Amino acid sequence: MNEFPAEEYRILVVDDSHSILEIVRATLTIHGFQVMTAESGEKALEIMENEGLPHLGLFDINMPMGMDGLELCERVLQFSDLPIIMLTAVEENATIVETIDHYAEDYMTKPVKSGELLARVRRVLRSIGDFAYPLEPFVKVDENLSVNFAKLIALVQGEEVSLTPTEAKLLYILMRHKGKVVNTDFMLRRLWPAESDFADEDRLRVYVHRLRSKIERKKSGMRYVYSKRRKGYSFLPESAS
């Protein structure tokens, strides 16, 4: 089995306990991961705005002062499809079920065990796959398009264009799977996890149209989002086609 390329991944750990932050940070850093830490949800959002998104979030559920972990998930998942592992001391089954259904790929109960932490982090990153672009404050697609997901801004040929949260999340999903056809059902589940039973292709089609109208320039031949009949959508910059 190939060695896991931990050095390629950046992880944001959010917990109001300084000691837990240090334990998790040290464990992940020793094994090669890039690690950012925040002691509140508000600070985590600030980091994402100014330093860019991570590849994975580790969020504590219970942070009594300010935004808790579930609120942070809701905010982050409005504009991205960031994979998240929840850290919790809560053993209540209902909380765990809600977390997995609506927010996270996995969860861990405290106290954190280093072996289990590494195994779960690697499993989620392997299952989700790598993000196709370097994660900077503005993620550069090519010379014509860059995106700051947390600030909901795209730079299109140097012009600042505002995105809605759903448009940003849709773009994130497509960019994560650059060059591949993303199945329509998968996109509906990721865009609207709490409403996936009610969301339909027409709703998705409207948002794809709106996104394309903002980031593509037909006169200059700029195309990014392609429709694949009865299959889904793909993201393929002209420069990469």
DSSP E strand stretches across the chain: 10-14, 34-38, 56-60, 84-88, 106-109, 139-142, 145-148, 153-156, 159-162, 181-183, 225-228, 232-235
Q: What is the pLDDT of residues 67-94, one digit of tens each?
A: 989 999 999 999 999 999 999 876 666 6
Q: What is the mean pLDDT of the chain?
A: 90
Residues of the chain with CATH 3.40.50.2300: 6-128
Q: Is the pTM of this model over 0.75?
A: yes
Q: What is the CATH number of domain 139-240?
A: 1.10.10.10
The architecture (CATH level 2) of 6-128 comes to 3-Layer(aba) Sandwich (3.40)
Determine the average pLDDT of the residues in 57-74. Answer: 90
Between CA 97 and CA 224 the distance in angstroms is: 37
- What local confidence, expressed as pLDDT, does residue 197 receive? 63
Residues of each domain in the chain carrying CATH 1.10.10.10: 139-240
Q: What is the pLDDT, as a whole number, of residue 91?
A: 67
